[in-house]
Structure 1
């Protein structure tokens, strides 16, 4: 479904990605692990067209999208939920969800997708008239994911969805991601909470200094001494 081949990204004199390659098959959740500054967010931004690569290519569903504009990539079903939630704080929950359908011409389809989000996330349905900025951190994260679902993703890029959330809320977010995947949406998950990510992922990649240094089935990575020591708290 997604193929990244030899991707390089520079920020001025900083070489952020160094020949990065990875793949995602249809129906997979793939976790992307690494320390701060390893290149995880840059990977998602390069895939979704928010930053330009200096070498390599990105292929989605057999078509190269390396130089496509972000809205064209989203139209193809590759939807990015960036770090930090970024809900529209002065708009209501419902208005935030409506904005997720800005690329969808069929208004009936938008309404159908919003109702599906409310079914998945009844807390948002209860707060549909409430301003986004007044929601809790966990509710804002749910709203950000819900807004992406209205766009109609076939591959969802999630950047640190558990950041700053209480453990109980993290579990709810991970359950939501697993449920979305079970309904057919593939997921590339960047997550500092490696324990939570590897519980729901099928496979994972570990990147350091912009390079992939380890990959494999999630179950194997959970048992790998290097991953345990670096990302799972040594337990």
Structure 2
């Protein structure tokens, strides 16, 4: 039986008077890939931003590994291994690939451990090794996404939050990025994946939730949802 790693219970999130999340309840099990699906404005990115400590819910609780993190600070969450790859990659475009990766481990405090972690990224993502001295802004979209994921990996995530990693990428590159995510998960990292590309997400996920208007409308094993006619019509075309 899978141990629950992350729990959200009856979470309400507001931006001023605008309610973004409504009684949101979901679980992520240790070692799982869980996908969050939904249209623009459904509340997917708001969920990840809240989990990263950037916004605090008005009500409800968030528990990670048995600890209440509802009001935790972002830097404390990163230190403890809850790390997000934001939508749009947000790499440092004027810094080299290697410098971007070094920043991913800024809380490590051990130069040898940081170097070993970066070497591991280069081993897993040889394209980044080839471009280690190249400025991030000169990379292709797919390479920038690999760099964003690699930078997060250097921080040694226990729970990796991925926000739209396939956005703007060609189908072949999307496949490569999803394979990278699956390999990271196979190495023991739990992943919460926000995606509009439902077909790609459900292919690698264990379970999935569909969010509409800030609340869960449907959930279940990814393989079952991939065959659900409502999901196919709404998100797969």
Give the Å deviation of 1:229.
Answer: 1.1
Name which of 52, 58, 62 aligns with 2:62: 58
User: What are the residue-to-residue correspondences of 1:1-235 with 2, within 5 Å?
Assistant: 1-233=5-237
Give the Å deviation of 1:228.
Answer: 1.0
Query: Which runs of no fewer than 5 residues in structure 1 stay unpaired?
Result: none
With normalisation by structure 1, the TM-score equals: 0.98
Give the Å deviation of 1:132.
Answer: 0.4
**Number of residues paired by the alignment?**
233
Give the Å deviation of 1:88.
Answer: 0.3
What value does the CA root-mean-square deviation take over the aligned residues? 0.6
Q: How far, CA to CA, are the matches of 2:138 and 2:229 in structure 1?
A: 42
Query: Which runs of no fewer than 5 residues in structure 2 stay unpaired?
Result: none
Deviates most, 218-227 or 200-209: 218-227
Give the Å deviation of 1:226.
Answer: 1.3
Deviates most, 11-20 or 30-39: 11-20
Give the Å deviation of 1:14.
Answer: 1.1
Q: How far, CA to CA, are the matches of 2:231 and 2:127 in structure 1?
A: 35
Q: Deviations over 1:166-197 (max 9, x none)?
A: 00000000000000000000100000100000
Q: How far, CA to CA, are the matches of 1:119 and 1:189 in structure 2?
A: 23
Give the Å deviation of 1:44.
Answer: 0.3
